[in-house]
Amino acid sequence: MSIAQNLLNIKASLPESVTLVAVSKTKPVSDLMEVYDAGQRIFGENKIQEMVDKWEQMPKDIEWHMIGHVQTNKVKYMAPFVNLIHGVDSLKLLQEINKQAAKNNRIINCLLQIHIAEEETKFGLDETELNVLLTSSELQDMKNIQILGLMGMATFTDNQNQVKKEFQHLKSVFDKLNPLNTTNYKLNTISMGMSGDYQLAIECGSTMVRIGSSIFGGRK
């Protein structure tokens, strides 16, 4: 089946309330353009340099999402164009995004990454760190970011019960968040679910899924 057909099949299976991010990391621009021509406008990359290269070559109506772990010293390269940064896991990173967004006269959308997996290698905030960040005076002062919600990655396992439990945990953290009286905080997004578990994630309340191999095929 063609890449475009894979995309259309997945789109047809998603509820209208769920946004599809086509995870295009390591894939050539020709593959991305095939998906673009089939109507996809949101692409997710996990390496900033690769995303910059593709942004330069591709149509400018694409929304670029940074879905990988972000080093603060690399934020400046994507600040002119990135639409949403999924993996914000520290106040320091948020401050750097705010600073670089201001330099580019932009507001950059962010999701706060919550650690929900059992693996130690996954990045993210725990609930205490999340609450400290959200109640910090520093956050109130940031005029060039907008926090749209939360992101999480489940444990890489075949145990669907465990994955479901982790997704439900992220949803419960999201549901407990209080709306803050700040202009830079509008909660409407839960980014969870990838090729192997996105249907389960949607059942658990996901509003944004990150799908790569089911569209583009496996990575070498």
106: domain CATH number?
A: 3.20.20.10
- How many structural domains is the chain composed of? 1
Q: Could you report the per-residue pLDDT of 81-92, keeping only the tens digit for each?
A: 999 999 999 999
Inside any domain, residue 100:
yes
Question: At residue 8, does pLDDT exceed 90?
Answer: yes
Residues in Cβ contact with 175 at an 8 Å cutoff, skipping those fewer than 6 apart:
none
Range of the domain at 21: 3-215
Q: Could you report the per-residue pLDDT of 50-103, keeping only the tens digit for each?
A: 999 999 999 999 999 999 999 999 999 999 999 999 999 999 999 999 999 999
Inside any domain, residue 220:
no
Which class for 137: exposed (0-12), middle (13-18), buried (19 or more C-beta within 10 A)?
exposed
Question: At residue 181, does pLDDT exceed 70?
Answer: no
Residues in Cβ contact with 138 at an 8 Å cutoff, skipping those fewer than 6 apart:
91, 95
Q: Which residue has the higher pLDDT, 187 or 22?
A: 22
Average pLDDT over residues 134-153: 93
Alpha helices, H only, the chain:
3-13, 29-37, 48-57, 75-78, 91-103, 127-134, 137-141, 160-176, 198-203, 213-216
In the block, which residue shows the tokens 């583009």? Answer: 216
